Each structure stands twice: as structure tokens, then as C-alpha cells.
Amino acid sequence: MTEALARLAGNKKQPLTTASETAVVRLLAALDNEKAAEVLWDRILPPHPPEVRAAALQGLGKWADAPSKEQLKRLFACAADADFRLAAPALVILRRLPVQERMVSEWLS
């Protein structure tokens, strides 16, 4: 099921409408399959619509315990977004993460 939804969301020839892509992202998050996390991480930054990005961020909450450096940068970008729908879930995820000495410069910026 996860693979089918991921293919549906990633179909470049027939892209989904914003509402449909948001629904697919929410379904992926609800399936509780860690493979879905890859699809969600790919959708938290532009050019995806804010609705899709917000749904992806909300779904990532359970898988963002140890994000990579690139994923952490994506979370910081979302946390700095002017849109509350994006900033709030990113800040909630970041709040739970431990601040590591090597990442202090990222946190401060």
C-alpha cells in the first residue's frame, strides 16, 4: 500500500491536485510505515503547496527522532517560514530533538 501511494504522489506525468496530494500524504502518515517517511521528507519544502507541506510535517513527527543534517536543515527552513501551518509542526519536532554540540551553529542560525 505504501509503495502504491508513493508512486501515486510522485507521478510527474499526471500530477495530483493539491487536495488529492494532501490526502495521499495524510494516508501515508497514517499507515505508520517508515518507508512513507521518505515521501514525507520530500514534501516539506517548496515547490509543494503549503497544504501538502503542512500535512507532511505533521506526519513526520513520529519519524523525526534522529534526522540527518539535510533533514534538520529542512526542518529549520520550515520553522522559519512565515506560514504558521508550516512553522508550528516544524518547531514541535525541533523542540523534541536534543541539541548536539556539532549542530549548535545550525540551531543558532
Q: What pLDDT, on a 0 to 100 scale, did the predictor assign at position 1?
A: 83
Q: What pLDDT, on a 0 to 100 scale, did the predictor assign at position 47?
A: 93
Domain ranges of the chain: 2-108
Q: What pLDDT, on a 0 to 100 scale, did the predictor assign at position 102?
A: 66
| 3-state SS assignment for residue 56 | helix
Could you tell me which CATH number the domain at 2-108 has? 1.25.10.10
Cell of 35: 518507508
Residue 72, phi then psi, degrees to nearest 5: -65, -40
Q: What pLDDT, on a 0 to 100 scale, did the predictor assign at position 34?
A: 81
Stated pTM of the model = 0.86
Task: State the greatest distance between any 2 C-alpha atoms of the chain, in Å, as a whole number.
Answer: 45
Q: What pLDDT, on a 0 to 100 scale, did the predictor assign at position 108?
A: 67
Q: What are the 10-residue block averages of pLDDT along the chain, 109 residues in total?
A: 86 90 93 86 94 94 83 92 95 86 67
- Cβ neighbors of 91 (< 8 A, separation 6 or more) are 79
Count of C-beta atoms within a 10 Å radius of residue 70 = 9
